[in-house]
Chains A and B, each alone.
Chain A
Amino acid sequence: MSIWSYANPVKFLTLSARVQPVLWVLSLAFVATGLIWGFFGTPEDYRQGATVKIIYLHVPAALMAINAWFMMLVASLIWLIRRHHVSALAAKAAAPVGVVMTVIALLTGAIWGQPMWGTWWAWDPRLTSFLILFLFYLGYIALWEAVEDPDTAADLTSVLCLVGSVFAVLSRYAVQFWNQGLHQGTSVPVATGGRSVDDVFFYPLVLCMIGFGLLFIALVFYRTGTEIRLRRAAALRARAGRAA
């Protein structure tokens, strides 16, 4: 039994129905614990005051905004190579979730930046590349909506996702070259193991990151199921139309 058997929509829906309740409960538990612990259980930062607590929304959302695009990239590749419809629909389902995560990251960043940096927005490399990522998401979703034939739409958006990934990375380095940053370095560098966040803030943050990750997976499962059922409903309607 390989993972490809879940390319069958029926199998996928069965699996998704079985794991979804678990995912929902776990993700909500993680997010709720992380946020409540973070908001009420941690002290205020000695320089930033209470504003430091926005990190529990900002960092996980930013993380998932990038990972959602990465997941769409993988799903697009699977669609282009193996032509599994579920994969294309999963990519389609992930895009709006990713766009919401991007907006959360941008908004919470602006709300935090106003008292801390004294500005809502700065043309900093990280901020700019997130804005560009946001534009890529918008273009991707708009292209899905604009093409009528679903298979053609899946093809075109997949290639756009591939090309867009290359240009997103390119833009990242371009804006870094163009402007030196105001945004601080990453708070949780995985590669080096060191981190600039104290343990007090770190544990609730990890809970939130896990929670957001699970929430994303649950949402993608849910939305992919919706897309599959929509596709079925369209097929049934077409068949009924032919019979009548």
Chain B
Amino acid sequence: MRALLIRDLTLALRAGGGFGLGLAFFLIVTVLVPFSVGPQAELLQVIAPGVLWLGALLACLLSLDRLLALDFEDGTLDLLVTAPLPLEAALSVKALAHWLTTGLPLVLAAPVLGVLLNLAPPGYLWLVASLALGTPALSVIGCFGAALTVAIKRGGLLLSLLVLPLYVPTLIFGAEVARRGAGGQEVTTPLLMLAGITCAVIALMPFASAAVLRMGLR
């Protein structure tokens, strides 16, 4: 398992691994928003938590089809399916590697981009907290979508369509935490719901992902 994690991380970090892609996309979305809605500070302050969450989600979505597709093309995935390591564990590790290379940089970059969007001062802590809690769920759910579409040629569009409704609950609760945090309100309820979703998908989704991957590769 550790070898698989290190391998995935190294591949992602090397040139052409698409490590910076999600981060760059996040930056582009956030920087373009003031150009499209206008530079009023109050307006930006209101929409900042939502925009940052949306940017993070889309950046995550963008990198999903790389999650399994490259391994599928060079045959690594077939080896993983037949390896003694349970496929559920292998997919959890791959989702973890995806989060470390996509989700974690987004979490770290979010406060900096928050400055650009004039995020309210109490919001920084909750923005980072909600993203840190929510992005693992995005990676794990995305791993299911990637497993579902890996054997389909040009499955990228389909992957987005399938994953989109699955991301809705995470986005609602995550953005709610950030918004309430920025407004100085109580955040406990959405935060607990977000944590619940993340824990549940981390526990259950790898089984569904492994099941569809076995079916798809059969």
A residues sitting closer than 8 Å to B (CB atoms) are 132, 135-136, 138-139, 142-143, 146-147, 152, 155-156, 159-160, 162-164, 167-168, 170-171, 174-175, 177-178
Contacts and interface: CB of A to CB of B under 8 A. Distances in A.
A27 B214 CA distance: 42
A142 B165 contact: no
Contacts of A152: 151, 215-216, 218
Interface in B159-218: 161-162, 164-166, 168-169, 172-173, 176, 189-190, 193, 197, 208, 211-212, 215-216, 218
Contacts of A132: 165, 168
10 contacts: A132-B165, A152-B215, A155-B212, A156-B212, A159-B211, A167-B165, A167-B168, A167-B169, A170-B197, A177-B190
Contacts of A143: 148-149, 158, 162
Given A147-B151, A175-B172, 19 more contacts: A138-B161, A139-B164, A142-B158, A143-B158, A152-B216, A155-B215, A160-B148, A160-B162, A163-B208, A164-B166, A170-B169, A170-B197, A171-B168, A171-B172, A174-B168, A177-B172, A177-B173, A177-B193, A178-B176
Contacts of A174: 168-169, 172-173, 193
- Main secondary structure on chain B at its contact with chain A? helix
A156 B197 contact: no
Interface string B135-161: 000000000100011011001001001
Contacts of B152: 146-147
A143 to B, nearest CB: 7
A212 to B, nearest CB: 25
Given A174-B173, A177-B193, A178-B176, A156 B148 contact: yes
A162 B148 CA distance: 13
A178 B218 contact: no
Contact of B212 (A159, A170, A178): A159
Contacts of A163: 144, 166, 208
B153 to A, nearest CB: 8
Contacts of B172: 171, 174-175, 177-178
Contacts of B161: 135, 138-139, 142
A113 to B, nearest CB: 22
Given A155-B212, A177-B190, A139 B165 contact: yes
A156 B149 CA distance: 9
A69 B147 CA distance: 23
A147 B218 CA distance: 13
Contacts of B218: 152
Nearest to A134: B165
Nearest to B148: A156
B166 A167 contact: yes
A160 B155 CA distance: 15
A159 B215 CA distance: 10
Contacts of B169: 167, 170-171, 174
A146 B156 CA distance: 11
B49 to A, nearest CB: 13
Contacts of A159: 148, 208, 211-212, 215
A143 B152 CA distance: 9
A48 to B, nearest CB: 32
B148 A135 contact: no
Contacts of B149: 143, 146
B70 to A, nearest CB: 20
B139 to A, nearest CB: 16
A57 to B, nearest CB: 25
Contacts of A167: 165-166, 168-169
7 smallest A-B Cβ distances: which pairs?
A: A155-B215, A174-B169, A135-B165, A139-B162, A174-B172, A170-B169, A171-B168
Contacts of B165: 132, 135-136, 139, 164, 167-168, 171
Interface string B41-74: 0000000000000000000000000000000000
